[in-house]
Amino acid sequence: MIEIEFAPTLEHCIQTLTKQEYERIMCQLLESGEEDTLLGERLQMLKDFLETNDFNQLRSEYEPYLVEGKKVTFKLWPGKDRTEYRLEIG
């Protein structure tokens, strides 16, 4: 199963990290000119995550933990109808 992990900070929110990874994978696919199923699936997961989540709400959930100095991790994986995620506080 594909899983993508992000660790947002006070400087780089989950939305920014997701967009950066989306753009990185898109460039990689365009530069290679070859079909890569795994990268294509990762790209679709990121696109779905960006389109279906309220990032203001997500930030309000995890930013207080970052302010306290705790580590925040988002784990994404393909779900049945959309990209699923889990927020972990460490």
Helix, strand, coil fractions of the chain, as percent rounded to 5: 55, 20, 30
Give the pLDDT mean for 4-29.
Answer: 97
Give the pLDDT mean for 59-82.
Answer: 96
Provide the domain count of the chain.
1
β-partners of residue 89 are 72
* Banded model confidence at residue 77, pLDDT cuts 50, 70, 90: very high
d(CA 50, CA 67): 24
Range of the domain at 53: 4-89
* Banded model confidence at residue 35, pLDDT cuts 50, 70, 90: confident
For residue 86, the model assigns a pLDDT of 97
